[in-house]
Amino acid sequence: MAGFLSLLRRVYLSLYNWTVCFGWVQVLYFAVKILCCKESGHEQVYDAVERPLQLAQTAAFLEIIHGLIGLVRSPISATLPQIGSRLYVTWGILYSFPEARTHMLVSSLVISWAITEIIRYSFFGLKEVFGSAPSFLQWLRYSTFLVLYPIGIFSEVGLTYIALPYIKNSEKYCVRMPNKWNFSFDYFYAAIAVLGIYVPGSPHMYTYMLGQRKKVLSRSKRD
């Protein structure tokens, strides 16, 4: 029974990793295609990648579930903030406020996300299928973040900041009193709070990933 469950886990995680990887390949392809086209530019990037971006990024929510039920060993303390911030930018900013979609930071955002995730999902996909991945892919998995993570964070923060005036003027997602719940919520101040979380959160995540890189690559050299 244990062997069957282990096989089922590997099949599921393999299908999950390769499916999401394919979604990110689409995102990268459509983004690069638009940017390389003489008749278009960064203003059209979001429209080109919207659906695969939403699907691929939202599918990452399952990784939180995977960690909670012990399907993978990734700590929730590392998975939750990274996926949570990306879901917030995907749905809470880009989907909700079209005014931010044409900024050039969308290009740097989706390209940095896509390259990172294509490498990550293909790495784990190969590990689930074959039990290991090529050493060059492992190096990319634990090294490309050195550049791509700061670019992604800068883009996330920048797009959230750009959306602030539109959030304030539209009062979207705000709950005003009086109401039957006796509760109020201002999305503008919530967005500012999210920006504040990036201040301690980003260095913490970067330090964590540096530690993971050192541990994994050192073990790889010994092997």
The catalytic site residues sit at 149, 156
Tokens 């190969």 label which residue? Answer: 126
Say if residue 80 is exposed, middle or buried (CB neighbours under 10 Å; 0-12, 13-18, 19+).
middle
The closest alpha carbon to 78, from 211, 217, 214, belongs to 211
Question: Are the C-beta atoms of residues 151 and 115 closer than 8 Å to each other?
Answer: no
Say if residue 213 is exposed, middle or buried (CB neighbours under 10 Å; 0-12, 13-18, 19+).
middle
Q: Which two tokens stand for residue 176?
A: 């005003």
Q: For residue 125, give Cα distances in angstroms to 12, 121, 131.
A: 10, 6, 9
Give the side-chain half-sphere CA count within 13 A for 124.
23
Q: For residue 179, give Cα distances in angstroms to 168, 183, 184.
A: 20, 7, 8
